[in-house]
Amino acid sequence: MNAKTILVTGGAGYIGSHACVELLQDGFKVVVVDNLSNSKIESLNRVQQITGKKPSFYQTDIRDKQALADIFAKESPTTVIHFAGLKAVGESCDKPQLYYNNNVYGTLVLTDVMMHANVKQLVFSSSATVYGESSCPQYTENFPLGAINPYGRSKAMIEDILRDLSAADRNNQSKYPWKIALLRYFNPIGAHESGLIGEDPNGIPNNLMPYVAQVAIGKLKQLSIFGNDYPTPDGTGIRDYIHVVDLVKGHINAIAALNSESYKCGGCNAYNLGTGKGYSVLEIIDAFQKVTGKPINYKIAPRRSGDLAECFANPELALKELNWKVEKDLHDMVTDTWNWQTKNPQGYI
Ligand SMILES: NC(=O)c1ccc[n+]([C@@H]2O[C@H](COP(=O)([O-])OP(=O)(O)OC[C@H]3O[C@@H](n4cnc5c(N)ncnc54)[C@H](O)[C@@H]3O)[C@@H](O)[C@H]2O)c1
């Protein structure tokens, strides 16, 4: 059992709620700070239903410095997992200021409060979108960065800020240096096997899997596949899909690593969280049809600018340094997505 308190920003959201389950089941105390701008409190009631334990909850914006400082003073967390952020690429192109303000400024406020509270262990939700285009489809952490939209750039800027914080401590030979894991997610999908928590997108989903699920259940009429003339075996884009439960387990391993000898002198390192294997859009549709027995109505649409033909993770560093690897396969991802979708056709209500 572990009595340490973890403060989870964005803990009511899709990935955050799954992280709460794993943390509570591992014996951590959990404090959630979420402004509910893209989530519902019901997700945390479900977390309690699964685990029998209740995270403390504050409906607070991370940019509210005083409120955040008060929470740190009251709850004394040892580590922060920072999920809070806006994540829709298209919206970020329309409203870049909103994204930089929420994601980048929000992180500046958070890290400032953390420094004043002397809490300097942080696990940050980064994204594969920080990488630039590459001739090799399998991305390693040392590939050049080059995000191509405001959302991705907000993540890349935050990574820079966190690396700079860590470097400043190294230069000053700080006795209590920052220990930071930047976790670059590939494409999280799936849901907790109970079907009680899952992805509950606002309006029309931006991501493939919830879109396919809503077509299967009849909420949406047709899926558009953007491009079937890519240089891939079936012509559709290939991505690395990772089960959300595997993904959040990577965060628990990251906390353990930050507390280990290898981070004794501090540091800020990036780790890919992906399976290392890509699936095409048509393969995902096929897997979905097999699991659900439902035909997925789709049409071929033109390519979208900025979409790559193929992109998947090299997850070797996470295996070596975080002792983490995935346990679930595509069948689990599809089965658990469908279980969540059929049990909650309207999401959290
Ligand atoms: N889901 C993905 O495909 C994906 C991929 C890569 C990275 N990420 C990152 O992982 C994190 C979690 O993603 P998710 O899919 O769970 O998204 P989500 O929208 O379900 O969860 C984010 C949570 O943060 C909260 N939030 C946003 N801004 C806030 C603020 N200023 N103050 C307090 N709370 C705030 C929202 O209400 C929401 O509950 C995000 O930072 C996202 O960018 C997600």
C-beta of 152 in contact with ligand 1 (< 6 A):
no
Between the CA of 9 and the centroid of ligand 1 the distance, in Å, is 9
**Ligand 1 atom 30: the closest Cα is on which residue?**
61
What was the pLDDT predicted at 307?
86
**Ligand 1 atom 44: the closest Cα is on which residue?**
87
Ligand 1 pocket: which of 63, 87, 243, 311 to mutate (most atoms <8 Å of CB)? Answer: 87
Ligand 1 pocket: which of 7, 8, 9, 14 to mutate (most atoms <8 Å of CB)? Answer: 14
C-beta of 58 in contact with ligand 1 (< 6 A):
no
The CA distance from 259 to 267, in Å, is 12
From residue 256, alpha-carbon distances to 23, 170, 213, 259 in Å are 12, 21, 35, 5
Atom of ligand 1 nearest to the CA of 37: 37
C-beta of 276 in contact with ligand 1 (< 6 A):
no
What residues contact 130, with CB distance under 8 A and at least 6 apart? 145, 147, 152, 155, 156, 159, 184
Q: Where exactly are the structural domains of the chain?
A: 5-343
What was the pLDDT predicted at 1?
45
Atom of ligand 1 nearest to the CA of 43: 39
Averages of pLDDT over each 10 residues, the chain, 349 residues: 85 98 98 97 98 97 98 98 96 96 98 97 97 89 94 98 96 94 97 97 89 92 96 96 98 98 96 98 96 94 90 97 98 97 93
What residues contact 345, with CB distance under 8 A and at least 6 apart? 217, 219
Atom of ligand 1 nearest to the CA of 84: 24
Q: Which of 14, 58, 99, 151 is catalytic?
A: 151
Between the CA of 123 and the centroid of ligand 1 the distance, in Å, is 14
C-beta of 34 in contact with ligand 1 (< 6 A):
yes
Between the CA of 345 and the centroid of ligand 1 the distance, in Å, is 21
C-beta of 323 in contact with ligand 1 (< 6 A):
no
**Ligand 1 atom 26: the closest Cα is on which residue?**
84
Q: Describe the crossing of helices 106-116 and 65-75 by its angle, rounded to 10 degrees.
A: 40
What residues contact 64, with CB distance under 8 A and at least 6 apart? 109
Q: Which CATH number fits domain 5-343: 3.40.50.720, 3.40.50.20, 3.55.10.10, 3.40.50.2300?
A: 3.40.50.720
What was the pLDDT predicted at 335?
97
**Catalytic residue status for 176:** no
Ligand 1 pocket: which of 38, 153, 187 to mutate (most atoms <8 Å of CB)? Answer: 38
Atom of ligand 1 nearest to the CA of 126: 7
Quote the pTM value.
0.97
C-beta of 10 in contact with ligand 1 (< 6 A):
yes
Q: What residue type is 59 in one-letter code?
A: Q
C-beta of 13 in contact with ligand 1 (< 6 A):
yes
